[in-house]
Structure 1
Amino acid sequence: MPLGALRPSPLVEQATDRLRAQITAGHWPVGGKLPGETTLARELGVGRSTVREALRALAGAGLVRPRHGAGVFVIATEPVEDWPTRLRRAAVTDVYEVRIGVEVQAARLAAHRRTPEDVEALRAALEGHRTAAAGDDAGFVDADIALHAAVVAAARNPVLTGLFAEFVPVLREGLVTLLDLTRLRETDPGTGDDTHAALVRAIADGDADRAATVLLGELEGTLRLLRAGE
């Protein structure tokens, strides 16, 4: 099946899309070798540099792999999703299950590693959470996430901090939806304040077990609500 010449612009994107479509359709099977750059450039009606950039994009998507001196070979027919994309497509309950593991460990580490500055940041975040109780659901969720982010930051582990940051967009959307569905804040505008205050105290006191227990109870309670709303 001939590839067909491309329209003038944007050539790299068009070339990438055209080649990806051919790979996905099985025109070049997994393990098969793509035609050389010169052949592809001629069939697509573009320069070799455009083909080269398109092949780099396909390699980045996990579809092809160049072998030095041998050519470019197909290694998959579907692109590999990156971690943020997988998270965006995941159910919020699945993300929450992982969040529990990340944050409970973070709370334990925070109790051991917190500095006076961390404790000050936690108390400020708690006050921000209380202030946000007078606002709308979205602002309240943002304040809640900021408090939890302060806990994770106090763990002094950049991997945990990075993981939590990746979770935030999915968590925020799920929690705003949860509050809208359950109307929890109609009777308790500052819902969760006692738990959050206990968590901050436990970390400030250096009590890792109590911090972990408090946070586990809070997150598991929210997870039950999320599951009930599915």
Structure 2
Amino acid sequence: MSRSAIRGTHSQNGDGLDLDSCRYASIYDSVFDVGDDAICIKSGKDADGRDLGRPTEYVTIRNCQVFHGHGGFVIGSEMSGGVRHVYLTDCVFIGTDAGLRFKSTRGRGGTVEKIFIRNVRMKDIGKEAIIFSSYYSGKNNTEEAVPVSEETPVFRDFTIRDTTCIGAGRAVLIKGLPEMPVQNVLFENVLLTAQTGATCENVEHIVFRNTTVIPEQGEAFTVDDAEKFIIAE
């Protein structure tokens, strides 16, 4: 998909692009201005998605612009068949609710991994500049650990480099499950300014390298139930 303009800001549940259970896709030089998620990666929902078992993989997204949407670049929440090997580079998000949005919930299952993001510029983001949430829906959201099963969603092996956000409600929110933390996320050469800083809960091996978070109020980083949480130059 290239040199396209997708508009529909008043369309409820109107995603700009849903890439579902696809391989070897390239999206570039496109503009999105929509009422729901703009560029969204999926791979089936719950048992049907797991039974099909067809991941979305080897996807390249570059030089795209998003002006409205619930999320600029989104994976989930329907990712039960898995998502891997996705490359997002050289994109601009202005005025979206969230910038980089990764979402799922118990019951989905599936693994999202090997996601590489570089050179994203964000401005005036209403909520989180970057969010990982394993509590997307209102069901099965107990804070207590439950047994890991095929219904447990997994987020791991993300790299976010050379990325900025000037103005957001929150810089970063990472909220994994107590039984399945969000794992192996590297932020490198990142600058984020927001009303509040970065909050990380139920995470494992999260690295902020040469990363600056500037909140208008409160602490730059708030961490709970974390293993190998590293802030380094």
**Shorter chain as normaliser: what TM range?**
under 0.3
Greater per-residue helix proportion: 1
Higher relative contact order (CA 8 A, sep 6+): 1
Task: Name the larger-Rg structure.
Answer: 1
